[in-house]
Structure 1
């Protein structure tokens, strides 16, 4: 099942849709109907009533797109020696209410570009009980838990994978091609993990994302976001634990007593035009974890803004580093994306970052170049890399690296892999190979002077990229491959 779809995809109650909005409406109605079936079965199970095992399971709804032979040559560029014929694409769908705007945009594009016929019905992919009712099993007895798997489906790890993303479905023409990057099971898996790691609901996430590795950026973001809400330029600030601040400035709850591993903060604007900040903490493992899950929300862009060690003698504390290339010593994605595969820089993102630095610092020309260095960033999985300097010195020299950190290349590689535009702007917080090792007193002075400005640069960059997204010029063709799913 390289598609994450059944070998013979069956569709029940199929109806041809008249437009993208009608398709989104039917997907929502079918999904909610099927979740209710699971809920009723579960209530009967808990009450000890007999439930049928052979039928009546809730299943994911499904979208089919059929494209005529005349248009099919526009959707396939892989040489397979075939006569161009009608193409079919399909995907099972979860939480269509959450993804409504995304589905409407993507289906409208498919209809307008290819004249596709869109059919919506029920798939034969069962919805696992934990994905339909997250807390359903919390109060079951041990005996009931043991019996649960005889009556309900559990998550299917065979279908919960990144085969589509990683191109493993590209040569299989035995059934419909993937319409979406992610199967329904893979999406549900990540939606639940997002709640766990960030302590906020996926519905609050905005499509313009900042990732950082220090709490001080969060403090500055919360101050700025509250000002935006108070001034009427945004609707809400949502913090971990569901703490919501509206225009009256009164939070709905006290701060979360214990922050999650990677807390998220959302400045919510109408029309999904706000900003999400996630403090991912330190290290490539965290960077991979959060981007694996955020990817299913299909953000417009994610940027890494954090600290780095400067590797050049001419750099000073507080200078900025704009990554134009990455040396991937993080190793965390090597199994999925070999380090030999280059990560291209994206012109729109690079230009926006450069412009934002100029806008917020007031510098330009030669003066700007004194404080903004472009070049290769090394991402390592070893926080104490300084203890291996003699071993690393030749590599750092050969790569012409200008900075070292623990997240940036991981974030960029994940963006490349998941087709999410990415970029990196770091701030030099120490220069270990030139005698300035990060110490508490020095670090505090640095943070006070630079964190606020650095955050403003990140926010200004997202402003500029929002304009690119509105024009339809943000999502680079550099990130797309052969026979891509039709949905972005």
Structure 2
């Protein structure tokens, strides 16, 4: 039996690797590389679904940022981020710069300032799985049950579950000889996977999540949160501009909040402020497995704080913020 001929590899044109000492310019280049990759994959995938000829294996990669330092820089040791601990080359792949622009600019700015060296931005060698490229695209929807009419894996990269791990943040990653050290706790494919899971589990998009997150497993906390959200929308100086839920979004305090056809496993509501400085509430339901699952995925958003609101550790009226509380049976 004659083996099928190997298809040529086709990808988008990308800018050459470049050094940046301006964090805003670095983030802009990251965005350019990411858009080039995603636009290329979406266009090829849409053409394939429309019956176009598949003459290559189509591959586009994530942007990457690198930092190389040869000095043990003196840094503000009170910060647990924005610096590396020893000389070397560090790198990470990046995704969704539209969602993480402010975060990336802050982190890259700290790296440049703390180490006194520029960062390098380039296209990485890590492919973007087609599922993640079209997740938020309007050009094409991922077909199900083999409905594409062609072998997806022959022409596009797909998610590799062995790469969607927490080895870096868990401290168990094994680095190949000569490879750069990790510059971030999560890789781009791991982040993309969690962004897709957040939409699945909560019924809301990752772009609606706020920097301050509440978890609960009591419905009356949801009711109180929604009532509070409506009051805030009614106060002109509150800064809150929108309430988002699994069924839709409202801006007027007395507007009906649409219900979804089917409630997701862990529904979320977001009281939005500009700059993502609002509050998100997630009803995680019952069981520690739900709590672990949702926090694993929320973590990639790098929120400022999260807090579980429940009954098991209820405080007394006599207690004040800062009191030491000893749990006992």
- Structure 2 length-normalised TM: 0.84
Q: Is the radius of gyration larger for structure 1 or structure 2?
A: 1
Is the 2:131–2:142 Cα contact (8 Å) retained in structure 1?
no
Flag structure 2 segments of 5+ consecutive residues without an equivalent.
Answer: 1-13, 76-82
Partner in structure 2 of residue 420 of structure 1:
none
- What do residues 382-422 of structure 1 show as CA deviations (whole Å, max 9, x unaligned)? xxxxxxxxxxxxxxxxxxx33xxxxxxxxxxxxxxxxxxxx
**Residue 351 of structure 1: aligned partner:** none
Root-mean-square deviation (CA, aligned residues, Å) is 2.7
**1:106 and 2:107 equivalent?**
yes
Q: Does 1:161 align with 2:165?
A: yes
Q: 1:51 deviation in Å? A: 3.1
Aligned-partner SS, 2:90 = strand
Instruction: Tell me how far apart the structure 1 counterparts of residues 96 and 31 of structure 2 sit (CA, whole Å).
Output: 7
Distance 2:44 2:74 in 1: 43
* 2:255 aligned residue (250, 258, 262): 250
C-alpha separation in 2, matches of 1:373 and 1:62: 44
- Cα separation, 2, equivalents of 1:140 and 1:305: 38
1:50 aligned to 46, 50, 53, which one? Answer: 53
What SS does the corresponding residue of 1:88 show, helix, strand or coil? strand
Q: CA deviation at 1:24?
A: 1.1
Which of 84, 88, 91 is equivalent to 1:75? 84
Partner of 1:374: 325
* Closer/same/farther in 2, CA of residues 72 and 13 from structure 1, 3 Å limit: farther
**Mapped pair 1:240 → 2:246:** yes
In 1, distance between residues paired with 2:84 and 2:278?
Answer: 32
Q: In 1, are the aligned partners of 2:89 and 2:181 still within 8 Å (CA)?
A: yes
- State the SS of the aligned residue for 1:149: helix
Matching residue of 1:201: 205
1:137, 1:205 → 2: CA distance?
A: 23
Could you tell me which runs of 5 or more consecutive residues in structure 1 were left unpaired when the two chains were aligned. 1-10, 78-85, 311-319, 322-356, 377-400, 403-488
Give the count of matched residue pairs: 304
User: Out of 281, 287, 290, which is 1:277 matched to?
Assistant: 281
Report the CA distance between 1:141 and its aligned residue: 7.7
Return the offset for 1:89: 1.0
Alignment counterpart, residue 13 of structure 1, candidates 16, 20, 25:
16
After TM superposition, list the pairs within 5 Å mapping 1:173-212 onto structure 2. 174-212=178-216
How far residue 364 of structure 1 moved from its aligned partner, in angstroms, is 5.9
Per the alignment, residue 464 of structure 1 pairs with: none
The answer to whether the 8 Å contact 1:68/1:116 transfers is no
Q: Deviations over 1:295-323 (max 9, x none)?
A: 00011111111122x8xxxxxxxxx24xx
Q: Is the 8 A contact 1:262 1:280 kept in 2?
A: yes
Please state how far the C-alpha of 1:52 moved relative to its aligned partner: 3.6
Task: Quote the residue 2:27 is aligned against.
Answer: 24
On the 8 A contact 2:244/2:250 being kept in 1, the answer is yes
Query: What is the distance in 2 between the residues matched to 1:299 and 1:203?
Result: 12
Question: Of Structure 1 and Structure 2, which has the larger fraction of its residues in helix?
Answer: 1
Separation of aligned partners in 2, 1:256 and 1:126: 35
Relative to the length of structure 1, the TM-score reads: 0.58
Do the aligned residues in 2 keep the contact of 1:67 with 1:117 (CA within 8 Å)?
Answer: no
Q: CA deviation at 1:222?
A: 0.3
Equivalent residue in structure 2 for 1:299, among 279, 297, 303: 303
| Aligned counterparts of 1:45 and 1:285: Cα–Cα separation in 2 | 39
After TM superposition, give the deviation of residue 53 of structure 1 in Å.
2.4
* Contact 2:167/2:173 (<8 A) preserved: yes
Contact 2:23 2:109 in 1 (8 A): yes
SS of the equivalent of 1:42 reads helix
